[in-house]
Chains A and B, each alone.
Chain A
């Protein structure tokens, strides 16, 4: 158990809908990251927050947005869903930012999203 908690674990929804994925980081971790893992794209970095502020953006679509709240939990909002958005969405957390020396990133179990 990494200490990173994600809900829901599984989600099935229809095209055009909107969903929210939730993440609670490890106790004491200030950084939260979101990744998407799909069969054809592999592991893709989406976005990074540190202590409530956006720090880095990866391949995140405009239909997707995220935020980190004062209690450090984070939510990833996916809207106007398409079939191609079906994937495993990971949240990860760490004490420091991204590539800081000695920083270790821990991943949650992921949220499986199926768009039908």
Chain B
């Protein structure tokens, strides 16, 4: 079934550093791809999505491009801020019927001033 592999953290960066969080997927067809973010003590928020190959999702300075050639959806940000400290989850729809979404294990990002 559909699956996602996400780089393990934690990732610690200095403010204004460049961020990449790797996500690769295995899927039947070309499903939508998602990044969700969970800030400390908060719920899960949709950060961005891409619905077809070569689409670029973007939000809050974050970007991710749906690459079918490399089956990847890496999350990038050019200059991180302390407020970006959170756990980031890559996800895609399941094709197994017992769960709507397949999530990666999450990558914890800590940004230090």
Contacts and interface: CB of A to CB of B under 8 A. Distances in A.
Nearest to A44: B99
A45 B49 contact: no
Contacts of A56: 97-100
Interface residues of B, number: 23
Interface in A62-116: 88, 90, 92, 94, 97-110
Given A107-B36, A109-B42, A58 B103 contact: no
A88 B32 CA distance: 26
Given A107-B44, A107-B45, A99 B106 contact: no
A11 interface: no
Interface stretch (B58-66, B70-78, B87-95): B87-95
Interface string B75-113: 000000000000001000111011111010110000000
In the A-B complex, list the 4 residue pairs whose CB atoms are closest, starting with the nearest: A99-B93, A98-B100, A109-B43, A45-B99
Interface of A: 2, 31, 33, 37, 42-43, 45, 48, 56-58, 88, 90, 92, 94, 97-110
Given A43-B106, A97-B100, 10 more contacts: A2-B43, A31-B100, A43-B103, A45-B98, A45-B101, A56-B99, A90-B44, A98-B101, A101-B31, A110-B44
